[in-house]
Amino acid sequence: MHKVGFWGCGNLAKIIAEKLSDGTVTGYQIVGAYDIDPDAAGKLSQICGSKACGSMDELIELMPEYIIEEVSPVVLKKEAFRIIRRGINLIVLSCGAMADDSFASRLAEYAEKSKAKVYLASGAIGGFDIMGAARLMGNLKASVINEKSPEALNGAPYLKGRLLDKEKEELLFYGTAREAIDFFPQNLNVAVAAATATSGVDNTSVCLKSVPGMALNTHIIELEGNFGNASLKISSYPSANNAKSSEIAAWSVLYILWKLRRSIVFY
């Protein structure tokens, strides 16, 4: 059994823990779960019979082979180095942190030294295979369009407390992926992930719309380069307990864990 630890015990962590515990993905034992909210860590630990940790140090001391991050880009940036320095592999959901160049390069440096791997989960989108191949072929330009319900966007720093109209569609933001994640840290991890894999956070445009009545979160990624062009559209259901997150994001972590145990996999 491979030992895993949870860093963050909220909505997505719960789905992952349930599916590791009910045998949907086998071969992993959840040894510990840490959340700044001890109640959340306690509840998650009950699902999977793991230790509820009171600190990151306690989680690290259990020496899991993988720590799954489901916290936030800001928290990830503060604490990721400690995990990687100990040679523990990190599975990341808050990919928005990768917009910070100095964080990304330091993380790579530490990982190189400790031989730990950082796995960026595909989250609520996909197509990283074609993005990667197209990037290698050169001249790649990417843009991302995101459409979400006002309920999924309310509370974002960009809105400064303003509540979005429940009836009227609104073009909320147009800018680069780097700007986008600061304004919408809980909504636009996907934009940074797509940008990081393609034309970079300063050269990938992001458009975000608030669309009342939308039952699904929709992401459209347009690619154009030496390879030709591609249009990827992913519409996914928000997770039941957090309209800002898509449930498929939790399953993308389960898919990483599933792949890690297979000899023949798609890359």
Ligand X SMILES: NC(=O)c1ccc[n+]([C@@H]2O[C@H](COP(=O)([O-])OP(=O)(O)OC[C@H]3O[C@@H](n4cnc5c(N)ncnc54)[C@H](O)[C@@H]3O)[C@@H](O)[C@H]2O)c1
Binding segment toward ligand X, per CB under 6 A, in 60-68, 141-149, 174-182, 238-246: 238-246
Residue written as token pair 């031989």: 115
Helix%, strand%, coil% for the chain, nearest 5? 40, 25, 35
Nearer to ligand X, 190 or 223 (CB): 190
For residue 2, indicate whether it is catalytic. no
The answer to whether 11 contacts ligand X (rule: CB under 6 A) is yes
The rounded distance, in Å, linking the Cα atoms of 87 and 113 is 9
Site for ligand X in 109-148 (CB under 6 A): 121, 123-124
The least distance separating ligand X from the CB of residue 42, rounded to whole angstroms, comes to 11
Task: Please say whether the dihedral angle defined by the alpha carbons of residues 188, 12, 103 and 111, taken in this order, is positive or negative.
Answer: negative
How far the first Cα of the chain sits from its last, in Å, is 24
The one catalytic residue in 14, 135, 148, 219 is 219
The rounded distance, in Å, linking the Cα atoms of 82 and 80 is 6
For 216: left if phi > 0, alpha if psi spans -120 to 50, otherwise beta; the answer is: beta
Nearer to ligand X, 17 or 116 (CB): 17
Site for ligand X in 25-64 (CB under 6 A): 35-37, 40
Binding site for ligand X (CB under 6 A): 8-13, 35-37, 40, 70-72, 75, 93-95, 121, 123-124, 186, 189-190, 193, 242, 245-246, 249
- Catalytic amino acids? 219
